[in-house]
């Protein structure tokens, strides 16, 4: 009795876990759908101050990725709600393929991280040597370095003091390139220039290395999460009622007879018990006849 109760509790626990898995998958797909919608909308929204697009780096590739992500999330939501095996398999196939490609890309970036950092270092050195300080006409190196320092919020190659030796003699002490400070700090400056006390304290090369490590960690987490969602989607799929595991004791002819209805009422257990039972002897062959009783002869005295 206790064993049956224990099995009943296990069944209830499995049902609760199944419902929880469906809720987790549905909510995750909903978040994916909202993220894909933002990827489609952000490239077309412009900043009120600058008049430029908020996320111009997304472009056409980001829009295509957003459409694919939206379709995948909708399929996953439908599968989580209905437990439809076909929808869940399609969702798992798309997400599994994306996870595989992301894993390959992450591994390649991990193996080539030293080469990427060396190339970025050379780029910084070239731009640093040709930088134009507070001039009306800026060259390509100046625009590249200003863009890097403003985007990554860094100053210099390893730090702000890298600019001390390359600064022109006519500039005051402690003056740094304008991209080493935020626009807010320059607005409160007396001469409208960037100074050491208001500059970013982290160099561009350490900041870039930190960003690379963060991206690798984020991509690894995305791969693990995608694989987990694939396993979750396949585990909650509704089983097909027409599929049943064959009995290893049945032969091909017995299975055909069992499923095509040619022998109604026949069960494999009956055949199995029949094969294990000892052979029954035929009374007419194996049973010996009993001897007839013959009385002894009697003799009379006459």
Domains and CATH numbers, the chain: 12-112+223-235 (no CATH), 116-206 (1.10.1450)
Distances (CA, A) of 284 to 53, 272, 291: 103, 27, 16
Per mean pLDDT, which range of 40-44, 53-57, 154-158 is the poorest?
A: 53-57
How far is Cα 232 from Cα 226, in angstroms, rounded to an integer? Answer: 10
- Could you tell me which residues are beta bridge partners of residue 175? 195
Q: Is the pLDDT of residue 299 over 60?
A: no
Binning pLDDT at 50, 70 and 90, where does residue 137 land?
Answer: low
- At residue 119, the pLDDT reads 93
pLDDT band, very low/low/confident/very high, at 142 (cuts 50, 70, 90): confident
Write out the DSSP string of 282-300: PHHHHSPPPPPP-PPP---
End-to-end CA distance of the chain: 89
What is this structure's pTM? 0.66
Q: What is the pLDDT of residues 188-229, one digit of tens each?
A: 667 778 888 888 999 999 999 999 999 999 999 999 999 999
Average pLDDT taken over every residue of the chain: 78
Determine whether 127 is exposed, middle or buried from the number of CB atoms within 10 Å of its CB (0-12, 13-18, 19+): buried
pLDDT recorded at residue 172: 80
Report the alpha-carbon distance of residue 86 to residue 223 in Å, rounded: 23
83 touches 91 (CB < 8 A): no
> Is it the case that residue 286 has pLDDT exceeding 70?
no
CA angle 288, 294, 296 (to 5 degrees): 145
Q: Three-state DSSP class for 123? A: helix
> Where does the pLDDT of residue 27 fall: very low under 50, low under 70, confident under 90, or very high at 90 and above?
very high
Model confidence band, residue 162 (pLDDT cutoffs 50, 70, 90): confident
pLDDT tens readout for residues 72-111: 999 999 999 999 999 999 999 999 999 999 999 999 999 9
Instruction: Tell me the pLDDT tens digit for each residue of 229-284.
Output: 999 999 998 876 655 445 544 444 454 544 444 544 445 455 545 555 555 555 55
| CA neighbor of 76 nearest in space, from 101, 94, 64 | 94
**pLDDT in the model for residue 270:** 53
Distances 169 to 156, 175, 176 between C-alpha atoms, Å: 18, 11, 12
Go through the chain and tell me how many residues it has: 302
Alpha carbon distance 62, 39 (integer Å): 6
Mapping DSSP to helix (H, G, I), strand (E, B) and coil, where does residue 135 land? coil
| Percentage above 70 pLDDT, the chain | 67
Say if CB 220 and CB 213 are below 8 A apart: no
What is the enclosing helix (H) or strand (E) of 194? strand 194-195
Closest CA relative to residue 181, chosen from 204, 167, 197, 170: 197
Torsion sign across C-alpha atoms 285, 288, 290, 292: positive
Q: What is the pLDDT of residue 95?
A: 93
Q: How far apart, in whole angstroms, are the C-alpha atoms of residue 79 and residue 172?
A: 66
The percent of residues above 90 in pLDDT, for the chain, comes to 36
Cross-strand bridge partners of residue 46: 53
What is residue 46's DSSP assignment? B
* Phi, psi dihedrals of residue 194, rounded to the nearest 5°: -90, 135
Least confident of 42-46, 53-57, 149-153, 237-241: 53-57
Least confident span in 83-97, 118-132, 283-297: 283-297
Q: What is the pLDDT of residue 15?
A: 81
């Amino acid at each position: 009795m206790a064993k049956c109760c224990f099995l009943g509790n296990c069944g209830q626990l499995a049902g609760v876990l199944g419902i929880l898995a469906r809720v987790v998958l549905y909510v995750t797909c909903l978040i994916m759908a909202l993220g894909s919608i933002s990827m489609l909308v952000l490239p077309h929204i412009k900043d009120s101050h600058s008049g430029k697009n908020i996320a111009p780096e997304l472009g056409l590739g980001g829009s295509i990725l957003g459409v694919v992500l939206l379709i995948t999330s909708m399929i996953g939501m439908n599968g989580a709600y209905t437990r439809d095996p076909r929808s869940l398999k399609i969702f798992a196939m798309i997400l599994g393929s994306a996870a595989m490609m992301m894993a390959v890309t992450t591994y390649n970036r991990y193996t080539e991280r030293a080469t990427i950092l060396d190339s970025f270092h050379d780029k910084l050195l070239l731009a640093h040597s040709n930088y134009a300080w507070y001039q009306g006409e800026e060259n390509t190196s100046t625009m590249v370095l200003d863009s890097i320092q403003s985007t990554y919020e860094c100053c210099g190659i390893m730090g702000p003091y890298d600019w001390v030796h390359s600064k022109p003699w006519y500039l005051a002490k402690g003056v740094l390139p304008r991209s080493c400070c935020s626009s807010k700090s320059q607005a409160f400056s007396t001469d409208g220039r960037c100074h050491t006390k208001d500059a970013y304290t982290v160099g561009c090369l350490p900041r870039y290395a930190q960003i690379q490590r963060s991206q690798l960690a984020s991509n690894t987490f995305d791969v693990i999460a995608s694989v987990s969602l694939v396993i979750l989607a396949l585990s909650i799929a509704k089983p097909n009622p027409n599929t049943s595991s064959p009995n290893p004791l049945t032969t091909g002819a017995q299975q055909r007879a069992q499923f095509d209805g040619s022998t109604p009422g026949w069960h494999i257990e009956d055949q199995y018990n029949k094969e294990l039972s000892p052979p029954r002897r035929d009374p007419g062959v194996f049973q010996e006849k009993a001897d007839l009783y013959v009385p002894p002869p009697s003799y009379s005295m006459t």
